[in-house]
Amino acid sequence: MGKISKENTDKLVKSGVLSKKALAEMEKLNVVAKDRTKIKRFMKTADGKFVEPSLYFRGAKGCKPSKKMEEFTAEYQKLLDKYTTTKNTK
């Protein structure tokens, strides 16, 4: 079974079909997809190509992140903000 998008749940709540209480319960059960509004960051290579740096923890799928992992990710995000740029992809 798939997840329902955040956009669709917002529409259902606005139209009155879904209550906020029911939405909260659905979010607890992890059946609502997370909103993906993250800004893509890029670095330019020596030959002018834009590349996107990424960070992931191999083998951590389905695991709850530790406090150290969250701190590391926050520091990584600061470095991304410092050394990367956004670009117009059109």
Which residues span the domain enclosing 62? 38-90
pLDDT digits (tens, 9 = 90+) for 1-42: 577 888 888 888 899 998 888 888 888 887 887 766 667 889
pTM, whole model, 2 decimals?
Answer: 0.53
What string of DSSP letters covers 2-21?
--B-HHHHHHHHHHTSS-HH
The distance from CA 46 to its chain's CA centroid, rounded to whole angstroms, is 29
Both 53 and 23 in a single domain? no
Both 27 and 5 in a single domain? yes
pLDDT digits (tens, 9 = 90+) for 37-79: 667 889 999 999 999 999 889 999 889 999 999 999 999 999 9
Both 31 and 42 in a single domain? no
Q: How many independent structural domains does the chain possess?
A: 2
pLDDT in the model for residue 36: 62
Both 18 and 53 in a single domain? no
